Amino acid sequence: MSEKDLQKKLDRCLADCTVKLGAGLGLGIVFSVVFFKRRTWPITFGLGTGLGMAYTNCQNDLRTPYLLKRNMKVALLSPFCPVHSSLMATHSVLVDSGSSKTAPDHHAS
C-alpha cells in the first residue's frame, strides 16, 4: 500500500469517526433529556457506540489492501423473482462467452 493510499484511508477514518461520534453524542443527549431524566449514561453510551462503530469501520478499511471493482456487463435473471420473471417473459437473454445479447421471445404474441 502506498503512502497516498494510507493517507486517504486515514482521512476517511478520521472523518467517519467524527461523524459517528457526533451522531452518538446527539442521540445520547436526546435520549438523556427525553427518556432518562438528564442522566449522563445515555450520552456515554452513545459516544462509546459511535466510537466502536468508527473503530470497526476503520479497522476493516485498513485491513483490505485493495478494493476490487467489477464492471458488470451481464445481468443474470432469476426465474424466482417476480420482476425478473416478467422480464424473462418478454425477452430471453443469451449469454455467450461474457457478452450478452437480447433476442425477442418467439412464444409471446
Per-residue pLDDT of 31-82, as tens digits, reads 999 988 888 888 899 999 999 999 999 988 888 765 565 555 545 555 666 5
| pLDDT tier at 95, thresholds 50, 70, 90 | very low
13 has a pLDDT exceeding 60: yes
For CA atoms 33, 36, 40, 45, give the dihedral sign: negative
> With contact defined as beta carbons under 8 Å apart, do 90 and 105 qualify?
yes
**Residue from 100, 104, 79, 78 nearest 91 by CA:** 104
Kind and range of the H or E run holding 99: strand 99-104
